[in-house]
Structure 1
Amino acid sequence: MQLMIILDGTIVTVALPAIQQELGFSPASLAWVVNAYLIAFAGLLLLAGRLGDLVGARRVFLAGLAVFTLASLVCGLAAGPELLIAGRFAQGVGAALASAVVLGMIVSLYPEPGAQARAMGVYSFVSAGGASIGLVAGGVLTENLGWAWAFLINVPIGAAALLLAVRLLPAQRGIGLGQGADVLGAVLVTLGLSTAVYAIVASAEPATTPRQTLVLGVVALVLLGGFVARQATAARPMLPLRIFRSAQLSGANVVVVLVFAAGFGFQFLNALYLQRVLEFSAMQTGLAFLPGPVTIGVVSLFLAARLVARLGTRTVLLAGLAVLAVGLLLLGRAPVGGSYPVDVLPVLVLMGLGMGLAIPAVIMLAMSGARPADAGLASGLNNTAQQAGAAVGLAVLATVAASHTATLLDGGADPVRALRDGYSLAFVVSAGFVLAGLAVALLIRPQQPSPAAEQAAEPVLAVH
């Protein structure tokens, strides 16, 4: 399911020009093919995670998988902009329901630290690898079968995943709706998160003024502030504020925001650098990214778990963040007439190494900082942090690159060099995100496992 969700995002990105031409989207409305999905997805993650705790993660996961698959069929058959945007919103709802509980299910299915590290490695590989695979698949499907197959490809995959999930996932009982059915809190947090994401994605549109963005941001803060106040006074809060007493959970989620801000922005800007500066085609760009997920796969599947067992989760996280920062700083030096083997490929390998170490480690830290009864909520919170980081990172880094490029062009700089310099500055800023995450990670002190957990785990696999 996670692979299908990640694939869908990048496949759709490649298919956007064909969608615009065939369905008659205006340039402004085309952005809503992406925005409708993002708003529903990010806005519902926290609520979906709590629902997993209340009614059972398996039920929420199956419901989300079914909604996502049916919505993909609607998108593929859409004959006009309105139905496609509605289908994309429904896809976001399904993706939120399924994604929000995935990490909690991994923790419950693989409680032993070594096995959990390997499972988190698979999750990280799927999340990172799916994005690059989607770039290639999007080009192939759109060029040979048409844009609709960017969505229709999800239908057989989703149906197969649904059948396997029904057969293989063990039944899980939630703690009951009566333990946290906070309707007002659910409305406030969903509206608050959705408004915040809308403010971020709308800020990139030329028609949106800074004043409108500021108003939207204030509305989002008021709604989220009201949610926090509600959780502090509700008899059965949807998000018990005690969960944030865990410095490990809170700190790890801050690191998640910063790492995903850097990683998502890097992927977007590096694709532009390859196409607009090095003049790669869309297909060449997708293929050029593949060494990154291959490295992530090797590191996260075969190396990360062993290093966590020997060195501890926090140490592995720090090493991964340091490698990430070095990779981004090196990419910031890539020249106009750069060579892929010399200037880009080594950076992609470094980024893959850093991501393969950092992502499983930071997710393990975040999830192990929550009580078992809050696993779904912690999973939804972590996914929300990922989406918030991606949205903020893309908005900030794209703005930095565009503003610097515009300034250089106004001064008479060569257009290609101005583009490169804009991307270079954004890469340096993204390295700053990672270094800020490194500083936060240095302050995290992992909680000691309970005696029962220590007895259940092999001594060599204890998390330090």
Structure 2
Amino acid sequence: MSEALKAPRIAAPSGDANRWKALVFIALAQLMVVLDSTIVNIALPSAQKDLGISDGNRQWVVTAYALAFGGLLLFGGRIADKWGRRRAFLTGLTGFALASALGGLAVSGPMMFGARALQGVFGALLAPAALSLLAVMFTDAKERAKAFGIYGAIAGGGGAVGLILGGFLTEYLDWRWTFFVNVPFAVVAALGATLVIREPEGGRNRAPLDIPGVLLSTLGLVALVYGFTRAESNGWGDALTISMFVASAVLLLSFVLVESRVKAPLLPLRVVRDRNRGGIYLSLGLAIIGMFGLFLFLTYYLQIVQGYSPVKTGFAFLPMVAGMITGSTQIGARLMTRVRARFLMGPGFLVAGLGMLLLTQLEIGSSYTTLLLPAMVLLGLGMGTAFMPAMSLATTGVEPRDAGVASAMVNTSQQVGGAIGTALLNTIAASAKTSYLKDHIAGATTKPQQQLVGLQSMVHGYSTAIAFAVGILAVAALIAFTFVNAGRPGTTPVASGAGAEDEVPVPVVAH
């Protein structure tokens, strides 16, 4: 039986009114982290020109953040368990704000890259602390459903909000404001959190830090994320790309071996060995693969093929955001205490896949109203409905001493999924585009005809890659249906924190 189903029920912690106030500030901090993954992309061309960053080095504006964030998430989650989630949350907020200000003041490429890396470091502390705070503060079934409904909507729709905000700031102010905007977000969230967040007593992990686990997991995840990032720009056959994948495999396998034998592991294998959580981490990662590729392709399609401005492009994503909010707060949250998680996650991924399937019909002159709008609504509804119970169940039944690292695994699956999705789907799109050009360019004898074929090849590449994303979402739905076998997540109790702070995790011995 799943460990989540065996955990004893406890009463909700005191300070009921404060919990809901705290949710506002936790959600604000989460929005800041999520939108930062896309807001900078809109500003990148302007920043590159102002700072004199070469085409070869511009990827580091994105890569420096991704490597630090993805590589340090497990470490950040465990720090939250040891320090206390409130302290980790406030430290992450402060550091993220300072790093954002540094990015906005950047006068050179290296200064920008350093600021982005620092954002990733503090984001890796902030994100798991935010999710684990919700996990330990909201234990009542109905309250937990509402809280995770709001959190799931932000986690799913924040990227699209970043596109809108980034377009506005870049077009009407300056690219530097895509960094400066984080400062007021962080100040408000930090002040509010200081006043209202009261972390439940107990649940800290007092065990010594697993230094070998920290080093192996960080280096392994950095190598994995960098391998996929480099594959996008240098190809899958590149020697360094292959070396990164080999190094990642060796490091992560060594990490698992170490974690199975040390007394106080960084990532207790009991967290991921649970059937429900394992299925959730895997299905969420697969879903993000499709979502990240889609954001990228639709952004390019709307701006390059359809000629949308950055602001108009951002607003074009609003139906997806509305769908995610509706799916998460009105469908997922309302049904979470009534039906099993698999019957929300599986159908949710399938509805999102149906939206993706519509987008395989993209053409140069496709109508926004009749094709893109319904596709985006379906994508938003499906993802919002699936994400919400997934995030709740991924942290349900976890002992409080492990809440931070279990939350970090949710973020890690999303970050790795994003890196894989960007690299894999970009490669598929580029290959399909090249093949289409080779087959059709000979018939284009004039410059307008050649330009038309160029646009057609681009759209053909996007639709081909999106077709692969449909298949990936179908696999995510299958995993959700078959692996996630817990009861109604809202009725699944949360592990007690009584006495947990003085416990040392029982070592898991490999057999």
TM-score (norm: length of structure 2):
0.85
CA drift at 1:330: 1.1
Alignment of 1:210-359 (within 5 A): 210-359=238-387
Within the alignment, does 1:101 sit opposite 2:140 as a pair? Answer: no
Alignment equivalent of 1:374, drawn from 402, 412, 418:
402
Paired AA for residue 486 in structure 2:
P
* 1:7-86 mapped onto 2 (5 Å cutoff): 7-86=35-114
Task: Tell me, yes or no, if the aligned pair for 2:204 and 2:400 is still in contact at 8 Å.
Answer: no
Q: Indicate if the aligned counterparts of 1:118 and 1:304 stay in contact, CA closer than 8 A.
A: no
How far 1:220 sits from its partner (Å)?
1.2
Equivalent pair of 2:128/2:411 in contact (CA under 8 Å): yes
1:176 shift after superposition: 5.5
Higher deviation after alignment, 53-62 or 205-214: 205-214
The percent of aligned pairs where both chains have the same amino acid is 36
- Judge conservation of contact 2:74–2:266 (CA < 8 Å) in 1: no
Q: Which residue of 2 aligns with 1:422?
A: 461
Measured after TM superposition, the shift of residue 69 of structure 1 is 0.5
Could you tell me which amino acid in structure 2 is paired with residue 153 of structure 1? V
Residue type at the aligned position of 1:433: I
Distance 2:301 2:97 in 1: 34
- Are the aligned partners of 2:283 and 2:480 in contact in 1 as well (CA < 8 Å)? yes
- How much is the aligned-residue C-alpha RMSD, in angstroms? 2.1
Within 1, Cα distance between the matches of 2:208 and 2:330?
39
Give CA deviations for 1:37-68 in whole Å, capped at 9, x if unaligned: 01000101111111222221111111111110
1:84–1:370 Cα change, 3 Å:
same
Q: 1:446 aligns with which of 469, 475, 486?
A: 486
Separation in structure 2 between the aligned mates of residue 190 and residue 16 of structure 1, nearest angstrom: 27
TM-score (structure 1 length as normaliser): 0.93
- Which one has the bigger helix percentage? 1
1-side partners of 2:119 and 2:294: how far apart? 25
Give the direction of change, closer, same or farther, for the CA distance of 1:438–1:449 in structure 2 (3 Å limit).
Answer: closer
Structure 1: gaps of 5 or more residues:
457-464
Residues 243-294 of structure 1, C-alpha deviations (whole Å, 9 max, x = no match): 2331111111111111111111111112122223333222221111111101
2:33: which partner in 1?
5
The answer for the alignment partner of 2:503 in structure 1 is none
Name the aligned partner's letter for residue 304 of structure 1: G
Give the aligned length.
455
Deviation at 1:328, TM superposition (A): 0.7
The answer (yes or no) to whether the contact 1:248–1:447 under 8 Å persists in 2 is no
Find the counterpart in structure 2 of residue 158 from structure 1.
Answer: 186
CA contact (8 A) 1:19 1:147 kept: yes
Distance (Å, rounded) in 1 between the aligned partners of 2:393 and 2:476: 14
Query: SS in structure 2 opposite 1:121?
Result: helix
Q: Give, in whole Å, the separation in 2 of the partners of 1:182 and 1:327.
A: 44
1:144 to partner: Cα distance: 2.6
Between stretches 301-310 and 283-292, larger displacement belongs to 301-310
Q: Give the Cα separation in 1 of the matches to 2:493 and 2:311.
A: 48
| Shift in alpha-carbon separation, 1:425–1:109, aligned structure 2, 3 A | same
Q: Distance in 1 between matches of 2:67 and 2:279?
A: 25
Supply the distance in 2 between the matched residues of 1:435 and 1:266 (Cα, whole angstroms).
15
How far, CA to CA, are the matches of 1:235 and 1:245 in structure 2?
A: 17
Verify the 8 A CA contact 2:53 2:109 in the aligned structure 1: yes
Distance in 1 between residues matched to 2:340 and 2:204, nearest whole Å = 35
Equivalent position amino acid for 1:293 in 2: V
Q: Aligned equivalents of 2:366 and 2:85: distance in 1?
A: 48
Task: Say which is worse superposed, 278-287 or 76-85, in terms of deviation.
Answer: 278-287
Q: Where do 5+ consecutive residues of structure 2 fail to align?
A: 1-28, 442-452, 497-511
Question: What's the CA shift for 1:447?
Answer: 5.3
Amino acid across the alignment from 1:141? L
Partners of 2:200 and 2:279 lie apart in 1 by 29
